[in-house]
């Protein structure tokens, strides 16, 4: 690392690792419940597990994004973070709010709105927390020596993500209106501004890992985020087909959400092309695996599997079934989980000064988690499609159909075990690196002169 | 070949244009079309209290409504016409977990008034025009 204050990032990454373990644990509880084993029903009923699983996902990803920003912004703006102390306060309060929310869920303290279950009083604390984070990032960036495109796109993504949290806090008497604005948060996050964050992190990693000229990478970054907004903003319409919104959303949502894979395709092609063009290879191969992996898997999970059920005629049947869970799992893992893991895999050797990359454990972590998640996606897909035909097409009672598809959750749990093993190995590697080391400050491990060249 | 400046213009121009279209359509939806299609004028105090019950117990954590929520328990958009008032009230007021075919629901043990509010909420949802959702099954398929 170049700047001492970048060390803050490590602790955000550590929080991410802790929370993903919890998230996976609650995922298992739900998987077993779907299979018919709901022994924990009295203590952790399904809706508690579900709220916890979803919200921990959001918080660990946000913590990962924040860690990425605290690492990237000093380096890109050539400036120490303006207040390290405040960044640690922000970290601790983020963790406290997250933990309080999760405990609250177990005591029926929540807002029953998917993804936005955090109770209202805690929402205000989230807003204060995020404003503190943005304050540190923005002041550091604009007091710095330069404002690179990569840093600006990343920051823009973070600022918009904060702004878009607000429509989710407005009370509506109407369930339909509530839903309409809930998607302003959820959709415009994951299929809009989070892609800016992902694009910014991806561009930073490609600049560092491939050695391709910054101007070239940043030019294509603009094209990709341009495509994201071109398709993603009106693509929100695919959530408005069947919630009491007018019919024109069927046409608009259908057309623009069918274009959404383009942004992800561009991202995958861009990452692969830059990697080839680079010619020289960075020694941290694991970071390259996660970076390219994220670009490719997000195209499959978010792009193609999203497209598979986004057209109104298909969505009429798949809306509100396990088909959504199929798309959701690979999309979140590919686009956001893997990019956070890529950032961590790149940053750990830099923060600690220890070059433990390219060990077998790191490779197993990558492949087991990836294959496990692909297997889970297939299991959800098979269960979802069977559910659609039995329940929606043939008209079987909900529970009759559910019992028919229970068997697929056995496969799901097997694959989830593989996935969890991969994540476990990644965390074991994380722990092996140890804590950030002051001796690593000022060291540059990206010096291509001393690195191996490609064959 | 595309320059960085042109790429930036594409990004900013596209974002502003499509945001403007999105905002305009959203304005039409929430001020004109949606209140009509969802019978917003029939949202009584009981319906609002029902919505509070729906949210404060995170019913969406197992069920879907308007196709949104979790996939552990039945879709409830048309539950009022499918199951009727007394069935819904029995489930919500049960002191023991309701467990059709073995899958347990939390026993909420609502009072009669609360259950009436929840029914009012479901009744209001039931009457919405949802562009054809949920789809009608084809009975010939199961023959």
Question: What residues of A are in contact with residue B4 (Cβ under 8 Å)?
Answer: 149, 215, 218-219, 222
Is A395 buried (19+), middle (13-18) or exposed (0-12) by CB count in 10 A? Answer: middle
Subunit contact B4:A219, Cβ cutoff 8 A: yes
Compute the mean pLDDT over every residue in chain A, rounded to the nearest whole number: 95
pLDDT computed for residue A450 by the predictor: 46
Return the percent helix, strand and coil in chain A, to nearest 5: 80, 0, 20
> What separation in angstroms does the CA of A452 have from each of A273, A281, A384, B100, B109?
19, 6, 47, 63, 68
Is A303 buried (19+), middle (13-18) or exposed (0-12) by CB count in 10 A? Answer: buried
- CB contact at 8 A, A218 and A204: no
- CB contact at 8 A, A110 and A104: yes
DSSP A341-370: HHHHHHHHHHHH----TT-HHHHHHHHHHH
Question: Which of these, A18, A40, A12, lies nearest to A28 by C-alpha position?
Answer: A40
B-chain residue closest to A216, CA distance: B4
DSSP category for residue A111: -
pLDDT digits (tens, 9 = 90+) for A130-139: 999 999 999 9
Question: Which of these, B79, B59, B77, lies nearest to B69 by C-alpha position?
Answer: B59
How far, in Å, CA of A95 to CA of A110, rounded?
Answer: 17
Mean pLDDT for A124-151 is 96
Subunit contact B69:A393, Cβ cutoff 8 A: no
Question: Which of these, A376, A399, A397, A402, lies nearest to A387 by C-alpha position?
Answer: A402
pLDDT computed for residue A449 by the predictor: 44
Fold of B38-136: Cytochrome Bc1 Complex; Chain D, domain 2 (1.10.760)
Mean pLDDT for B61-77 is 97
pLDDT computed for residue A453 by the predictor: 40
A-chain residue closest to B74, CA distance: A398
Q: Does A22 touch chain B (CB under 8 A)?
A: no
DSSP category for residue A334: I
- CB contact at 8 A, A290 and A336: no
Closest residue to A218, CB basis, from B4, B28, B30: B4
B87 to chain A nearest CA, in Å?
Answer: 16
Q: Is residue A279 scored above 80 in pLDDT?
A: no
How does residue A447 score in pLDDT terms, banded at 50, 70 and 90? low
Domains in chain A and their CATH numbers? 4-437 (1.20.210.10)
How does residue A448 score in pLDDT terms, banded at 50, 70 and 90? low
- CB contact at 8 A, A263 and A195: yes
Compute the mean pLDDT over every residue in chain B, rounded to the nearest whole number: 96
Backbone angles phi, psi at B60, to 5 degrees: -65, -10
Tell me the ipTM for this assembly: 0.97
Q: Is residue A454 scored above 50 in pLDDT?
A: no
- CB contact at 8 A, A129 and A46: no
- CB contact at 8 A, A69 and A136: no
pLDDT digits (tens, 9 = 90+) for B28-40: 999 999 999 999 9
Q: Does A287 touch chain B (CB under 8 A)?
A: no
How far, in Å, CA of A118 to CA of A412, rounded?
Answer: 28
Subunit contact A316:B100, Cβ cutoff 8 A: no
pLDDT computed for residue A281 by the predictor: 78
């Amino acid at each position: 690392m170049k700047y001492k204050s970048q060390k803050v990032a490590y602790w955000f990454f550590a929080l991410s690792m802790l929370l993903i373990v919890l998230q996976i644990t609650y995922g298992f509880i739900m998987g077993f419940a779907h299979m018919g084993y709901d022994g924990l029903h009295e203590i952790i009923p399904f809706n508690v597990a579900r709220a916890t699983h979803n919200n921990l996902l959001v918080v660990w990803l946000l913590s990962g994004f924040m860690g990425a920003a605290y690492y990237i912004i000093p380096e890109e703006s050539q400036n120490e973070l303006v207040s390290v102390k405040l960044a640690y306060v922000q970290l601790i309060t983020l963790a406290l709010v997250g933990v309080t929310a999760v405990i609250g869920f177990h005591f029926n303290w929540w807002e029953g709105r998917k993804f936005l279950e955090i109770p209202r009083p805690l929402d205000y604390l989230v807003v204060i927390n995020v404003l503190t984070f943005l304050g540190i990032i923005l002041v550091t960036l604009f007091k710095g020596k330069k404002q690179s495109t990569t840093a600006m796109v990343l920051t823009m993504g973070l600022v918009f993500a904060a702004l878009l949290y607000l429509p989710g806090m407005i009370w509506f008497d109407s369930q339909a209106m509530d839903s309409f604005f809930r998607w302003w948060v959820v959709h415009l996050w994951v299929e809009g501004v989070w892609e800016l964050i992902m694009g910014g992190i991806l561009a930073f990693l490609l600049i560092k890992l491939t050695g391709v000229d910054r101007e070239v990478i940043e030019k294509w970054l603009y094209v990709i985020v341009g495509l994201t907004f071109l398709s993603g903003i009106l693509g929100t319409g695919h959530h408005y087909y069947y919630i009491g919104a007018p019919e024109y959303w069927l046409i608009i949502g259908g057309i623009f959400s069918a274009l959404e894979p383009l942004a992800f395709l561009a991202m995958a092609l861009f990452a692969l092309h830059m990697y080839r063009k680079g010619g020289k290879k960075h020694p941290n191969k694991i970071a390259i695996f996660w970076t390219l992996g994220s670009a490719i898997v997000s195209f499959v999970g978010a792009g193609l599997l999203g497209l598979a059920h986004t057209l109104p005629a298909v969505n009429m049947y798949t809306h509100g079934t396990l088909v959504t869970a199929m798309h959701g799992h690979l999309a979140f893992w590919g686009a956001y989980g893997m990019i956070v893991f890529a950032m961590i895999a790149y940053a750990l050797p830099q923060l600690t000064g220890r070059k433990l990359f390219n060990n077998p454990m790191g490779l197993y972590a990558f492949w087991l988690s990836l294959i496990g998640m692909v297997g889970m996606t297939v299991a959800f897909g098979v269960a979802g499609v069977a559910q659609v035909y039995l329940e929606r097409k043939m008209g079987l009672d909900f529970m009759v159909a559910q019992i028919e598809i229970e068997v697929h959750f056995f496969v799901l749990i097997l694959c989830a075990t593989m996935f969890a093993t991969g994540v476990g190995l990644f965390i074991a590697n994380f722990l092996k690196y140890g804590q950030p080391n002051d001796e690593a400050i000022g060291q540059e491990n990206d010096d291509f002169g001393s690195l191996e060249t490609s064959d | 070949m595309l320059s960085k400046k042109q790429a930036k213009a594409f990004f900013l121009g596209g974002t502003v244009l499509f945001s403007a279209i999105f905002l305009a359509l959203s304005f039409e939806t929430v001020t004109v079309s949606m209140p009509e299609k969802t019978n917003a004028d029939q949202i009584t105090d009981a319906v609002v209290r029902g919505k509070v019950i729906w949210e404060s117990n995170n019913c969406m954590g197992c069920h879907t409504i308007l196709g949104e929520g979790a996939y552990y328990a039945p879709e409830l958009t048309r539950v009022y016409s499918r199951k009727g008032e007394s069935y819904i009230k029995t489930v919500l007021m049960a002191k023991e977990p309701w467990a059709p075919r073995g899958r347990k629901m939390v026993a909420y043990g609502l009072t009669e008034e609360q259950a009436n509010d929840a029914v009012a909420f479901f009744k209001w949802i039931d009457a919405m025009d949802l562009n054809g959702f949920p789809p009608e099954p084809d009975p010939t398929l199961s023959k």
